[in-house]
Amino acid sequence: MGTNSAYKLCSLVFLVVFLGCSELIQCSVTYDRKAIMINGQRRILFSGSIHYPRSTPDMWEDLIQKAKDGGIDVIETYVFWNVHEPTPGNYHFEGRYDIVRFMKTIQRAGLYAHLRIGPYVCAEWNFGGFPVWLKYVPGISFRTDNEPFKRAMQGFTEKIVGLMKAENLFESQGGPIILSQIENEYGVQSKLFGAAGYNYMTWAANMAIQTGTGVPWVMCKEDDAPDPVINTCNGFYCDSFAPNKPYKPTIWTEAWSGWFSEFGGTIHQRPVQDLAFAVAKFIQKGGSFINYYMFHGGTNFGRSAGGPFITTSYDYDAPIDEYGLIRQPKYGHLKELHRSIKMCERALVSVDPIITQLGTYQQVHVYSTESGDCAAFLANYDTKSAARVLFNNMHYNLPPWSISILPDCRNVVFNTAKVGVQTSQMEMLPTNGIFSWESYDEDISSLDDSSTFTTAGLLEQINVTRDASDYLWYMTSVDIGSSESFLHGGELPTLIIQSTGHAVHIFINGQLSGSAFGTRENRRFTYTGKVNLRPGTNRIALLSVAVGLPNVGGHYESWNTGILGPVALHGLDQGKWDLSWQKWTYQVGLKGEAMNLLSPDSVTSVEWMQSSLAAQRPQPLTWHKV
């Protein structure tokens, strides 16, 4: 072979190596009982959840790079059906919803992706990610063996798979996506639905496989996921989890870094020592894929928070905080954990551990290969007392509730309880007038007759609003005779309102009379309050507020929202006056919404006021902007 030919061959070999899994080379993703295998190579993979709609596109590159710098191999995200198909057949993949751009940003960073299509996601997201129009498909019943639902679900799943395929984003095409998920935490629902649940789950698995992505599918919290779908674990700890077949890898799809926040609730934090211990314990027992839920939680922008009563912050005490800033020591300690485990990777994916008891609460897991690789995990399960153990003729001191990692079976490179990273604390400081807030009072004195309708009785809120707004006005009138006792020194009548959720503001003749709200655990509530009525016609206006739609629970699509009554006046001379079935006038939304005050780019004729002036004459419904 001549020099020129040899040069060409070397160039070709170099080109193939340099391109790696490019469009020219189809890459394979398979699995065995030890691990996910990429091009035949078993991998220990650390993944982190970053949801593209919970941050802005300008943040994505920085968030993904920080995750990579922290030892993350895979970025995981749900796919949010309601933002992509707001009305049937009309798709939206722009701005924060540009999932293709998000996937390509992951790819440019040299990371893999796990696409959890669902399309049910839960995720403390409005309506669990389902578009509200789905509720009104004739004959539909969510997440069960129901043809209208399966048809719609399959249509969206195939839409997303087709979009990813068109952009060559599956690893089988040279893209970053190495795993996909169908359904989400269905196991409990499946048992409740019995045979219909099992049939639906089996159908969903087979439907997903038939899309031909070329990468494995998973189902989380689904013990009976059929082959070849891999069942996986979600939780604070998953070391006791095992897949349903001995030839499937052990995958932890949600290692909870913290917890979400609800209005009026506590801000949950998880010490990084405990999270690191849970991860190390999972790895030492043969786990090979861990996804942190969340690695960056982000923000529930607009009306995306579900629950209801989930806050707009989805910080989750994650290693990267809501603002995209690194949270120490959580980020740094996990980074060191990942580095330490990667030092053990060859041994971990090659053999099974030999487990030896070193004390009442102490164990060692040893991974030793014929080729000489040796890794050990020294564990102390005592929650209160430290321990001194003998291993390989050497003594090791183990703090309580900790695991030490020895990549060479001799030297400790990491202990889950020993944090060597400086703690940082975010502190919010006053802006000292940097921002100039402006306010605008919502006009509640008159109605836009073109947008109202009147009917007898109380209507369910979402059936009226179709989720176009969180607000629905319920309005009626009562005539009070001049002889009523309360007008002549007697006790004011009492208005009692029973609501199915989530909050209500009561206006009597244009003046705020009271407010009430439920909680995430109990959306229903009863308002009881005195009302100052006058002789003649009195206008009662109830502003019902939905604080995010439900995202989890059996047939949550059938749950009611709004004021279904009874609504009654007590303490009149005639006794109780039930207003429930008299004529009510309805108006969807607030005038500020109709004037597009929500949009930062809106151009309106509204006269905004400096907040300092607005504060001097507080109004019950006020818009604020900066």
Give catalytic residue positions: 185, 254
Tell me if the bond preceding 329 is cis, omega within 30° of 0. Answer: yes
State both tokens at 353. Answer: 């551990």
State both tokens at 31. Answer: 């699995």
Q: Tell me the C-alpha distance between 183 and 179, whole Å.
A: 13
Q: Tell me the C-alpha distance between 289 and 46, whole Å.
A: 6
Helix, strand, coil tally for the chain in percent (to 5): 25, 30, 45
Q: Tell me the C-alpha distance between 352 and 567, whole Å.
A: 66
Check: CB of residue 396 under 8 Å from CB of residue 409.
no
Q: Indicate the residue type of 303.
A: R
Sequence-ordered list of residues with C-beta below 8 angstroms from that of 198, at least 6 positions apart, any chain: 190, 224
Q: Indicate the residue type of 258.
A: G
Check: CB of residue 370 under 8 Å from CB of residue 376.
no
Compute CA distances 522 → 266, 459, 512, 519, whole Å. Answer: 17, 20, 25, 5
- Residue 334 CB-density burial (10 A; 0-12 exposed, 13-18 middle, 19+ buried): buried
Sequence-ordered list of residues with C-beta below 8 angstroms from that of 103, at least 6 positions apart, any chain: 113, 115, 164, 167, 169, 175, 176, 177
The edge-to-edge listing of strands for the beta sheet with 567-572 is 525-530, 494-499, 567-572, 575-578
- Residue 158 CB-density burial (10 A; 0-12 exposed, 13-18 middle, 19+ buried): middle
Q: Indicate the residue type of 200.
A: Y
**Residue 149: other Cβ atoms inside 10 A:** 20
* Number of helices and strands in the chain (H, E): 13, 31
Element (H, E) at 497: strand 494-499
Torsion of CA 226, 228, 234, 239, to 10 degrees: 110
Sequence-ordered list of residues with C-beta below 8 angstroms from that of 544, at least 6 positions apart, any chain: 461, 471, 472, 473, 474, 499, 503, 504, 561, 562, 563
Compute CA distances 14 → 7, 19, 27, 171, whole Å. Answer: 10, 8, 17, 21
Q: Tell me the C-alpha distance between 192 and 198, whole Å.
A: 10
Residue 469, CA atoms < 13 Å, CB-side half-sphere: 18
